[in-house]
Amino acid sequence: MAALRYVGVGDYIVGVPARNLEAVEVAALPISEQELVDSGLYQRSGEEPEPAAEPPPEEERP
């Protein structure tokens, strides 16, 4: 099981693989696990994904 699950939808941090990461891989990166989670691109395995923000309503056209 991956230590961090990638949820970035194509976004990435230079030097960090844009995929699920194992604990050994996270430890070898120049960025901390907490920084990866704080970036919004990764979630710890077992955490529920954040609900997607509702898009703003479209303006009614006359």
Residue 41 · residue 9 · CB < 8 Å: no
Give the domain ranges of the chain.
4-44
In angstroms and rounded to an integer, the radius of gyration of the C-alpha atoms of the chain is 15
Residue 45 · residue 3 · CB < 8 Å: yes
Cα of 57 vs its chain's centroid, Å: 26
What's the pLDDT at 46? Answer: 80
Asked if residue 21 has pLDDT above 90, the reply is yes
Buried b (16+ CB within 10 A) or exposed e, 38-62: eeebbbeeeeeeeeeeeeeeeeeee
Interval 26-60: pLDDT, tens: 999 999 999 999 999 999 988 666 555 566 677 76
